[in-house]
Structure 1
Amino acid sequence: MKLKIVLKKSSKNFDLVGCVCWCGPDEVYSAGDNHEITKWNLATGEHSLVAKLPDDFYPTDIKCAYKSANTKQQSNSNDVLAIGSTDGRLMLMSRNGRVEKLVEAHLGAIPSLNWNHEGTDLITGGEDGQLKIWSRSGMLRSTLRQSSCAVHSVAWSSSCDHVLYASDRQLTIKPIQTNVKNLNWKAHEGLILCVDWNHTNNLIISGAEDCKYKIWDSYGRIIYTSSSHEHPITSLSWSPSGHLFVVGAFNLIRLCDKLGWSHSLDKPSSGSLYNLCWSRDGTQVVGGAGGGAVLFARLSDWVHEWQNLEIQVSGAKAIQVRNISNDARDHLEVKDRIINTSIRYKYLIVVTSSKCYVYSVNNWHTPAVEFELKECIVSMIQQSHRYFMLLNSSSINIFSYDGRLVSSPKSTSLNLDPYNRHAVVISDDVLVIRDKLDEKTVYVFETVTGKMTEVMELGLEMSGKASDRKMTVVDRNRDLHIIVVRGAGSPRRVVKVGRVVESLCWHDDRSMFACISESQVIVFVCPSAGFIDRSLMEKAVIVRDASEYGKNPQIQSFHGNNVQLKRGNGSMVSCHVTPYAGMLLECVEASKWEEAVKLCRFVNTEAMWACLAALATNQKNLNTAEVAYAALNEPEKVKFLQHIKQETRKEVQSSELALFSNNVHQAEGILIQSGLIFRAIMLNVNLFQWERALELSLKHKTHIDTVIGHRQQYLNKFGKKETNKYFIQNSEGVKVNWETIKAKMQAEYQNEKSQ
């Protein structure tokens, strides 16, 4: 990833350009010591004079509060330019150059000013040591700080309830509320010249005369310190997504990752870069230079990878596609500037300033679909198997891969975080979004309808390990789902276990819960069975008739062997549950497997054996699991467990157990991590996941003929011809010799045994 840089001048003189800002997707305003406000149109490459400033007005900073960031038809009447000067005056100007207000804001220069994210409040910091907040119309709202030490840079927090400012060598986070304590710390060994606070990742960057830039968290803890540069750091700026930031100094601009390391370093003949600013789509940077030019930089050569494909945005309108398995390359061209891209699930989504293109990985020559966009800034793309989502700061649109608009989920109380990929997840059936302002609130929408899925009842497991903590959710349709709360290392699994659930309660001390469904009291004695063997979930239950409790009984508590219920008339009744399930759980927790088997043989019910089978499988006690499955009359699973026991390598055993629990992704991952590539390939062959098997063989350059040979054998058995383009393309030049294939497979198995 790098920046492609162009320096442009609005006139032949070399007056300093001290400040720049974006006022639209392709519109930049600059101001400098020539007393001119210049507008630059990046789409046409033209520039024009907007306004001539008074001869005694030397601009120090300029910021635009524009509300029409997401629509193509922009209305300039609502957009306001705020301009600070060296003599403390604050000018508010419309985008057409009309001065709306001019106030004496500070005694001395205004080194920095900043609009909040909504464009309603303006913060100014002055050399007089004061920090002031102004309304959009230029009315003074409050003075946050009064001191003799000058303020050189200011920034808003993500929620706009705190302000960060730099004064001397100190950084201070000041709350807007006056009765809350400030957080301040010494950040640099020299005068701090610039700061920025990202509203997505909540990280702070600072640059100073000690020639270093640093990254901090919102508590003032250091995350990264750069090496010393030759010259002071004069400017820096976060990208809207929070993944990148730029640093400016004398004849230097550096593109950095959010962790601090550099993507690229350029040394344009610009002089000192006094001001850097990202476009809202996060693809362009503009800077004001001491040499009298305006620096324009475009993000280039960013890369996406998916399976064996590498997608590189090589130009403003160009994409390079490379298949790393056979080094095949394709070149894609679009009409407008590329803003965002994403590739997953066999589709490449390309969003430009006016259109959305959908390419199939099977055909790069022409897009499968292209359609016009109502919004010109798409900040995020998320994909699932059947749908993809385009998101910006004001709307969510879900499309199918044929370009059809499926839904546009909306909620009046939802505050979108348009740049945080960790706050939005989409699947084929639901869309989950975390609220930007209230991070404890999560919204769930149906993907197809766009309607909110209302959660009616929650339950949480009260016992067991924190890493295995489970939660129950009853949705609007009264369907019951079980979720592992802390699903680390793999996608969180959700299991639907019941319907028409009217009431639910977890046991006080044991990992089981009771619910009322269809006039029955159902006790799930082993909720984890849903993540181990789904067939056991239906068996590991104790059912009691609830018709005797009248209409609408509600479970109040579940303690010991009693489920306490409240009838519709308010009277309390108790439903007794067999104590053997609790005794079995106690035996398993104490690793008393022989006693657990004896107990199940004594009780001899399907629920007890199913519970034991699930728990033994989960804890990899294969002997006990074999006994339990035999008692359940499931010989195929007994045979598979015996097969697992014969494996000598623990990695293979773990993989086979994951496969036994229907977790194919985890099973494959264990094999690949252990270096058992052949096993991983054959795993996918045996599951008829042909494309994944071929992908692994091409990636690791081994057993390509083995996969193609088994594929041909499979097709011949059913009398079919090869139609998969992926196999047709990669089968060319591959000779299938079964004697060679069998010898290679035998050698692999012998090699495993010898290890």
Structure 2
Amino acid sequence: MKLKTRICKKNSIRNSEKVEESSKSTTNCPLSCVDWSSNEEIYFVSDDHQIFKWSDVSRDSVEVAKLPDDFVPTDMHWLLLGGRSSGGGKGSDTLLICSNDGRFVILNKSARVERSISAHAAAISSGRWSPDGAGLLTAGEDGVIKIWSRSGMLRSTVVQNEESIRCARWAPNSNSIVFCQGGHISIKPLAANSKIIRWRAHDGLVLSLSWSTQSNIIASGGEDFRFKIWDAQGANLFTSAAEEYAITSVAFNPEKDYLLVGTFNLLKLCHSNGWSYNTARFSSPRVGSIFNLSWSADGTQATCGTSTGQLIVAYAIEQQLVSGNLKATSKSRKSITLKDIATGTQDILDFPQRVVSFGLGYGHLVVATTNQVHIYNEKYINTPIIIDGRNDTRVIEVGKKYFMILDALSIWVYTYTGRLHLNPRYPGSQAQIPLLTWRSLSLGLDVLAIRDNSDPTVLHLFDLIPGASRQYDPHSLRAKQQLVQIAACRAGSPEDQFVAFIDSNRELFVSESRNLNSERIDEIYKIGTQLTAIMWASETNILVGVHDSCYSIWYCPGEGASDPTIIALTTITLDTTEFGKHITIESFEESVLTFRSAGALLPVNVNMYCEILHRALLEGQWQQALKICRMGQHSSLWATLAAVATRKHQLQISEEAYSAALQIDKVSYLQHLKALTPSSAEQMAENSLMLGRMLEAETILLHGKKIEQAVGLALRMHNWRRALEISQKHKGEQPELVPRVLQERRKYLKALQREEWDPLYLPLVAKEEADNTSE
């Protein structure tokens, strides 16, 4: 995605004679308190004690209330319904305003004071509602941070020292607080007996902070003229070049990877990695220092107050998406240009409402406005399908068959004809909707994957094939660590669907995301380490992942996941030193992989033979696949063919492929397989065992009533407990199985020269000894 942004200056004081007449002092007093009450309204207040409301519809400002003369505001924050990231477009009715005498007030929508509380012994520098809306924090120049209930009752004092606190912000999960004192930044976890993380951040005072809900990173601006980006442990990720003046404000976008930076007469729109999209300088009129940046809940607009008392509203435009031969660019707030790069034709799409988000892919453009969703087909661009009633759209993801929308209410999966295909729900899903981001969701070919926010180790998988039982009863996949990124494959056949995910240890795992046998879904295989991002190819099951200084391509991550040898043969790792730092994956269309570094797009071609091989295998063209491998003569091609052929029970082709890949042990095993009865339960089980799928092999034997063979399989794998469990379960049918298991166990212990130690076997051994003694 190529993004270009232009900051549009909307000065309500200069453009509105009514506001200038009603609040003349606003043009002279610093405007340091601004915030969005909805996606269309901004509230602001300055030292003249008057609260104004600016409307995006009327482009005018009106006075809504007047504060007491002894109340000088220092910070304000609206409690949006369901949290800032939940689509506050519907507005809210609770406003928090802090003052320089240590008080804060809570007002309702009609500007009536609900609570007025003396909280600190000095000025309150920051007052913020928690993201979950359960409470609020106040941080003061007296060095104290307090947490209050939503009604204004004191809950706890979490920080207390003598050094003044300049700024404080909540963590996205409401479990920690970041604050700055002097040149230091500190993170205070709210869990009991937790330690504060503190580090030196800037040479001068730290003036502003922001904690990203998308990437869980922290931005800071200081008097040393720089802004910096940190991870949640205090490690520096980015340091900007020195600006001309101090960085007075920073703010992450709640829905996208944007960072807005404000300084004297300048606004800068950056990527969350730190590099800049666009800079807007205000030379006429000069606006002074920019204070208290605030994004709207849908992430499309931003506002800020200035030291000269002027209000600035900014809009993100020139966002660009490219897919195949189509390029979509947002030219204004209500128009998008769709261009066919191949033919040079261009269409300008105008909308009656403001464009909130749009997605492009697989020959379709999906555009969400404030109240509608427009679906365009590249072949019928003049006749879009319109879906009404979709408000506050936050995420759009397009797939080959369906597209997904995340809004303020729920998750919706539609077909490209505009028909609602699925509204997925799982335990606690409605309460988690405000906290979900595009990183929590992944739309595959026939599967929708959703990370559970209440338990980040759980992944919910919804089957999108019509009539599938998991449309309303998802399968839950549990990892050992918290999931950081998930990606469902976007191509393949309905029987071969996989999901890949990176956990908090930066390790990469792959599992089947859809299978008729529910017992096989929990087989999770580790295929990589030290990953920061992953993406599947759009048309094939090829996976790419980015490390710190290189990137890897897995040409057979699904079928070969259970065999480390296959993964090693089909994985290629390449250096990215020449690309620069902070590489991100932009797109993976067919055989062209595009990275982005410092704003530049870097296209790279993957192995064309592997991409063509996958297409041939998808269509079942086995002889064509053999010709491709013979032409390419690369071990990754043969290993990919071998893994897929073994999974599809193409033993003859699998034998040739393993032989070409020099896997002699597997060739010998395949010859043993070919000696078994074709398509029998024994052959299918041995085939699954060769792929490393022991649970699958056992299930095949048990379903085929091959109890003796299932016990023998467990014994071969030295899975002694499972062998005993199966033999005891079928003791009535085949009583000779238990003695056989005990006999094999004795041989095993004799070889180890050990006594029995397993509590499951000890009673049986004691009983056997007692029977022998009695005889």
Residues of 1 paired with 2:437 and 2:715: CA distance? 40
Match of 1:395 among 410, 430, 433: 410
Residues of 1 paired with 2:477 and 2:424: CA distance? 20
Please report how far the alpha carbon of residue 217 of structure 1 lies from its aligned counterpart in structure 2 after TM superposition. 0.5
Residues of 1 paired with 2:172 and 2:200: CA distance? 22
Q: Secondary structure at the match of 2:383?
A: coil
Cα deviations by residue, 1:388-444 (Å, 9 ceiling, x for unpaired): 110135410111111111111011234347664343111342111112343211111
1:37 corresponds to which residue? 51
1:454 corresponds to which residue? 475
1:6 corresponds to which residue? 10
Please report how far the alpha carbon of residue 241 of structure 1 lies from its aligned counterpart in structure 2 after TM superposition. 2.8
Counterparts of 1:694-713 in structure 2, within 5 Å, are none
Residues of 2 paired with 1:207 and 1:425: CA distance? 34
Counterparts of 1:497-536 in structure 2, within 5 Å, are 520=681, 524-525=685-686, 527=688
Residues of 2 paired with 1:178 and 1:426: CA distance? 38
Cα deviations by residue, 1:625-646 (Å, 9 ceiling, x for unpaired): xxxxxxxxxxxxxxxxxxxxxx
Match of 1:429 among 446, 450, 454: 446
- 2:43–2:52 contact (8 Å) kept in structure 1: yes
Match of 1:559 among 710, 714, 717: 717
Residues of 2 paired with 1:141 and 1:326: CA distance? 64
2:138 corresponds to which residue? 124
1:64 corresponds to which residue? 78
1:378 corresponds to which residue? 393
Cα deviations by residue, 1:120-172 (Å, 9 ceiling, x for unpaired): 21011100000000111111110011111011111111221111001111100
Counterparts of 1:163-242 in structure 2, within 5 Å, are 163-242=177-256
Q: Secondary structure at the match of 1:193?
A: strand
Please report how far the alpha carbon of residue 4 of structure 1 lies from its aligned counterpart in structure 2 after TM superposition. 2.2
Please report how far the alpha carbon of residue 291 of structure 1 lies from its aligned counterpart in structure 2 after TM superposition. 1.1
1:330 corresponds to which residue? 347
- Residue type matched to 1:493 in 2? G
- 1:399–1:406 contact (8 Å) kept in structure 2: yes
- Residue type matched to 1:342 in 2? G
- 1:116–1:160 contact (8 Å) kept in structure 2: yes
Matching of residue 493 in structure 1 with residue 558 in structure 2:
yes
Q: Secondary structure at the match of 2:381?
A: coil
Residues of 1 paired with 2:417 and 2:394: CA distance? 21
Please report how far the alpha carbon of residue 213 of structure 1 lies from its aligned counterpart in structure 2 after TM superposition. 0.5
1:150 corresponds to which residue? 164
Please report how far the alpha carbon of residue 44 of structure 1 lies from its aligned counterpart in structure 2 after TM superposition. 2.6
Residues of 1 paired with 2:477 and 2:131: CA distance? 34
Residues of 1 paired with 2:147 and 2:478: CA distance? 44
Residues of 1 paired with 2:713 and 2:386: CA distance? 54
Residues of 2 paired with 1:458 and 1:275: CA distance? 40
Match of 2:729 among 564, 568, 574: 568
CA 472–262 in structure 1, closer or farther in 2 if over 3 Å, else same: closer
Q: Secondary structure at the match of 1:201?
A: coil
- Residue type matched to 2:393 in 1? V
- 1:457–1:474 contact (8 Å) kept in structure 2: no
Deviates more, 1:81-90 or 1:436-445: 436-445
- 2:39–2:89 contact (8 Å) kept in structure 1: no
1:581 corresponds to which residue? none
Residues of 1 paired with 2:479 and 2:105: CA distance? 54
Residues of 2 paired with 1:177 and 1:561: CA distance? 41
CA 552–48 in structure 1, closer or farther in 2 if over 3 Å, else same: farther
Residues of 2 paired with 1:434 and 1:292: CA distance? 44
CA 412–543 in structure 1, closer or farther in 2 if over 3 Å, else same: closer
Please report how far the alpha carbon of residue 472 of structure 1 lies from its aligned counterpart in structure 2 after TM superposition. 6.8
Matching of residue 439 in structure 1 with residue 426 in structure 2:
no
2:383 corresponds to which residue? 366
Matching of residue 314 in structure 1 with residue 347 in structure 2:
no
- Residue type matched to 2:135 in 1? D
1:50 corresponds to which residue? 64
Residues of 2 paired with 1:545 and 1:85: CA distance? 72
2:500 corresponds to which residue? none
Residues of 2 paired with 1:155 and 1:520: CA distance? 61
- 1:251–1:271 contact (8 Å) kept in structure 2: yes
Q: Secondary structure at the match of 1:83?
A: strand
- 2:172–2:212 contact (8 Å) kept in structure 1: yes
Residues of 1 paired with 2:58 and 2:686: CA distance? 69
Q: Secondary structure at the match of 2:273?
A: coil
Residues of 2 paired with 1:23 and 1:574: CA distance? 75
1:107 corresponds to which residue? 121
CA 169–469 in structure 1, closer or farther in 2 if over 3 Å, else same: closer
- Residue type matched to 1:547 in 2? K
Residues of 2 paired with 1:4 and 1:34: CA distance? 26
CA 187–132 in structure 1, closer or farther in 2 if over 3 Å, else same: same
Deviates more, 1:381-390 or 1:185-194: 381-390
Residues of 1 paired with 2:425 and 2:719: CA distance? 45
Q: Secondary structure at the match of 2:244?
A: coil
Residues of 1 paired with 2:399 and 2:255: CA distance? 21
- 2:442–2:449 contact (8 Å) kept in structure 1: yes
Residues of 1 paired with 2:248 and 2:10: CA distance? 19
Cα deviations by residue, 1:206-244 (Å, 9 ceiling, x for unpaired): 011111100000110001111111111111100013511
1:356 corresponds to which residue? 373
- 2:459–2:476 contact (8 Å) kept in structure 1: no
Cα deviations by residue, 1:521-552 (Å, 9 ceiling, x for unpaired): 66644559889xxxxxx99x997996364999
- Residue type matched to 2:369 in 1? T
2:321 corresponds to which residue? 304
Deviates more, 1:270-279 or 1:439-448: 439-448
RMSD: 3.9
Please report how far the alpha carbon of residue 7 of structure 1 lies from its aligned counterpart in structure 2 after TM superposition. 2.0
**How many residues are aligned here?**
547
Residues of 2 paired with 1:140 and 1:409: CA distance? 39
Residues of 2 paired with 1:65 and 1:302: CA distance? 29
1:735 corresponds to which residue? none
Residues of 1 paired with 2:463 and 2:229: CA distance? 39
Matching of residue 283 in structure 1 with residue 300 in structure 2:
yes
CA 67–229 in structure 1, closer or farther in 2 if over 3 Å, else same: same
- 2:82–2:133 contact (8 Å) kept in structure 1: no
Q: Secondary structure at the match of 1:24?
A: coil
Q: Secondary structure at the match of 2:242?
A: coil
Residues of 2 paired with 1:469 and 1:211: CA distance? 42
CA 566–98 in structure 1, closer or farther in 2 if over 3 Å, else same: farther
Deviates more, 1:11-20 or 1:215-224: 11-20
**Could you tell me the percent identity over the aligned residues?**
28
- 2:510–2:558 contact (8 Å) kept in structure 1: no
CA 474–362 in structure 1, closer or farther in 2 if over 3 Å, else same: closer
- 2:205–2:223 contact (8 Å) kept in structure 1: yes
Matching of residue 138 in structure 1 with residue 133 in structure 2:
no
Residues of 1 paired with 2:62 and 2:519: CA distance? 62
Residues of 1 paired with 2:739 and 2:276: CA distance? 66
- 2:37–2:88 contact (8 Å) kept in structure 1: no
Which TM-score applies when normalising by structure 1?
Answer: 0.66
Residues of 1 paired with 2:435 and 2:715: CA distance? 42
Residues of 2 paired with 1:32 and 1:277: CA distance? 16
- 1:471–1:485 contact (8 Å) kept in structure 2: no
